Structure 1
Amino acid sequence: MLEHIKIQSLDDFFTDLSERSSKGVFFYKINGYSEQICQFVKKYYNAARISGVIIEGRIPNPDKDNLEYYNEIMGMDFQLNIEFITASLRKWLPRMSAYQNSAVSSAIYKILNDLGKSGKNENMLKNAYIKFMCWLYYKFERILSQLGDNKVPKILYEGTASYYELLLLSVLSGAGCDIVLLQYKNDSTSQIPDTSTVLPDELKVSGMAGFPEYFSLKWLRDEIQNDMDIERLYGRKPSVVNCTNAWIEGKGLDDFKKEIHARGSDPQFFYNCYVRINGVEDKLSYMNELYQFQMELKNSHRRIVIIDAPLPGPSTDEISQIKRGNYKTCKQMLAGLSGNIKYTANAGLQSIMVKSFVDVILEESKQEGITLNRLSNRAVYLLCWLKRYQGQLFANWKIPDISCFIYMGG
């Protein structure tokens, strides 16, 4: 049996067995919600989907057919000793290796022995044993063959688990599975005395509150599918992403002038700023300050576009150059319109442009009452402006170059 250990961070759940501080597994319950918890559950869901089991609602009790088949193969004998359980598992689940058989039989024996010590009679222990055996065969056989692997199999349980379900989860934890219980309302583990088995630890992070009404694994699947759809819209994934404003000091024009290499050094980011300045500190000197600002930017060899008038709308000719179709959904529209973003001189820059375009329009689509036609018009305008200014802003662009777009009076 593997040791039941505690995490130091949420990332620990996704470490291989050989990378853990001690050879053990994690068994946690989540009774509250935060954005960090949401992102963790999404990642854990994907891990369990690939190499584990996801349970939504109660595990069905063995039905008549299940019990008849079990009786036909195994009979109804029961003995509370490790030799009997080991031999029974070898016959009932023959695909398990010797190590896996030993891990599961030891975990079952420990739970049943603890139950016996707590006052359960032999008939109750036998019923629990048969229920465990049926559940292992019909629901968890997929992960039993992964026990002992370096990549630890994962179980995600949604809802309020029954008493015997919690006992089985304790068996699987002891046998070598990571387990997370999502408990939206009631803490089901309160029904088990601490002395009877291993109970899950409670996962706590800062800012947790009650689960929102909409949250469920079904909702999470929809979110994951939406994320996958958006990834497809991006096409080629950019090698770098923007780190906007996180590095600035709030000094306005001085932040713009800050050397690119002094803004940050993480190679997965380019460091830019997006700032709106209302008013001036000194009416008498600000024109000179703007002139000096422009000269410093030019001397640093950064590409600059300055618009000192209302931003001209796209011309009829510019709009006619945007290839469009008939769209039924926002994502369909984005898939079609993003094909207008071409920058053959630098495929990496093109992928950044596409991602930015998709993100902006998706954010616009969240506005209440906006129609697909209006959204399409905004997207076309954005593409026209991008085509108009990209030559001035991005000629010979390379990482970590940062151009400047300055809109006066906007």
Structure 2
Amino acid sequence: MYRNPLIRSATLALAVSLSLGAPSAFAADKATATPAASTAVQRKAVAQGLYELAYSAKQNAVFVASSGGFGDAAGPSQVLRLNPATLAVETRIPLERKAFGVVLDDASNRLYVGNTVDTSVTVVDTAQNKAIGTVQLMEKKVGKDGKAGYTHDLRELVVDGPAHRLYVTGHSGEGSVLFVVDTQTLKLIDTIPGLGKAKAPGLALDTKAKRVYTSNLLADLVVVGTDTGKVVQQYKISAEQPMNIALDPDGKRLFVTDQGLEMIRNYQAKSTPGFTSKHPGQRVLVIDRTDGKELASIPSDAGPLGILLDAPRKRLYVTNREGGTVTAYNSDTYKKVASYNVPTHPNSLALDARNNVLYVTIKNGEKDAKGSEESVARIQLGK
């Protein structure tokens, strides 16, 4: 099913679902955990097809990607600038291509937006509130059926502002890659192979160590040297469905959401010869990034996906898409300290560290009206 990367329909449906949190047939419609602080949550529906978001301390604004959704009822693709206190839409920044993943270089007033289905990145000027360029990461290829398509789709983005480099994962069952973009010239300067012949969801950057960490659905942790432009290490890890990654900046730990979805198991069984499921997932795996060894396994609510570490406060935040919750853990003891009820499908996270506020995109479920707007939640966190 996934052997030919030019067959876009089934592959793209999986890519958007497992990579960026589109609703799936296996997703629950109601939260299963009891919230610890529901009064701290405020929420607002803002647009169709919401995905990742970022908080800008410099602009004092929340920027959220809206793909507009798919089909006849789809809305426009745009980046929404939200008031961080009220979540009101202050500006709508139109885009020519659908918006999914984002990463912010706040010092440079740049928001980089992944155009998953077009294998490109749109550059948004956050001071001027407008798109200023597009970086095409790959050209279409013509398959045996005579139709042109992209061999890779996109997921996560990370940026090294001082070094003027943007890194983007390119998914493909035929061999995932890491794209490297010069943020001054807005040109693709390298395509690094070797991330594994499977989807590669996770991405984290350690600028000091000059390392990019990626995960794939073959249960690999693949490490790329930003100084060498090559894969420098690869380890088998115990997460069967490693998704997003959070990096401890002052230590050797990586926090990885191990999702545990039946849909992904089916993909793994069809795409990986001899695959046998050995772990149900639904946890956060803590690993040593120097050797890939498991340090801890933290039980989560159903379908953990997004993950964010607030290292100074020793807090780890996780979105649980099927559980409809955001859970907070002590990042030293790994104990759960709070749970926030944000049904239906909480997806991505951003943090206002100064004010200790967490922002969450929330996807609709199957019972929501087709074409209805999706939401952003604002969570005022406790001490």
Give the TM-score of the pair, scaled to structure 1.
0.17
Q: TM-score, normalised by structure 2?
A: 0.18
Structure number with larger C-alpha Rg: 1
